[in-house]
Amino acid sequence: MSSNTVALDAMETPEFADSVSDGAVTPGAKKSAPDVGFHFEAMNLKPGDRMQIQVPSKLSDERCFVRLIGFLPGHSILITTPTTASNVRLQLIEDDQVVMRIFSRQQAFAFSSDVLRTCKLPYSYLHISVPKAIEGTVIRKAARVKTKIIVKVNADEGRAAEQTGVISNLSANGALLDGRKNIAEVGDTIQTTFNLKLHNVETRLSLRAIVRAAFDDDTLRQSGTSLTHFGLEFLDLQPNDHMILQSMVYQKMIEEPLSLV
């Protein structure tokens, strides 16, 4: 993989930037902020780059990863044939439309493309069309993704015993916790324990956090709930824990682009 390009490989690169801004791009999707159009060269593609491909739903609802073999501007892009997580090769045919996504430098890109030709020798690969339009969004320091993660919270002495809350969004550096008002106050340090699932492997994290904010919003007020939002910043993160959080954010962003906050 090129040093300029990142996909789910971010799990193996602790030096990789924290996250992507609002809106992992989806061509034609409605967003609160419009994507910016880019020229092909802006993607800075290199042979070996890892790209995500979304194939027609008749073949699979799973988003797969392929490698870029090469390209000739104005003619075609060559990629490896996509396979599912269970190693099933997807039988794309000419004129099938696919959506490609890639992270390069400080931007996330997406474009639609047509399958021009399928080839089986000397190995299985595809020619896809050079995109007429490319959308992109800017990578920022700490992307947040929407989640529904059950978390156990232990607060400072003198407060309620262990309580349960929900992490409603998560980044590599912090989280938004929805819990009862008596869980903590701004400035308190709490211990959070929760599970994250990465590629069907569940990992348990136990992280200290400081409460940076506590607030209600219209949704909470209208629902009549007694819950409050708590803005948390994780403290003293170990490299492996930070890597797990970062990887979870990227996995969510890639698999569910609209989950970005």
Query: Residues 126-144: what's their mean pLDDT?
Result: 82
Q: In whole angstroms, what is the distance from residue 92 CA to residue 128 CA?
A: 11
* Domains of the chain listed by start with CATH number: 5-138 (2.30.110.10), 145-259 (2.40.10.220)
pLDDT of residue 211: 94
pLDDT of residue 17: 30
Give yes or no for residue 217 having a pLDDT over 90.
Answer: no
pLDDT of residue 216: 79
Per-residue pLDDT of 94-105, as tens digits, reads: 999 999 988 766
Query: Residues 193-197: what's their mean pLDDT?
Result: 94
Cβ atoms of 35 and 152 closer than 8 Å: no
pLDDT band at 18; cut points 50, 70, 90 = very low
**232 vs 20: which has the higher pLDDT:** 232
pLDDT band at 168; cut points 50, 70, 90 = very high
Give yes or no for residue 26 having a pLDDT over 60.
Answer: no
Decide: pTM greater than 0.75: no
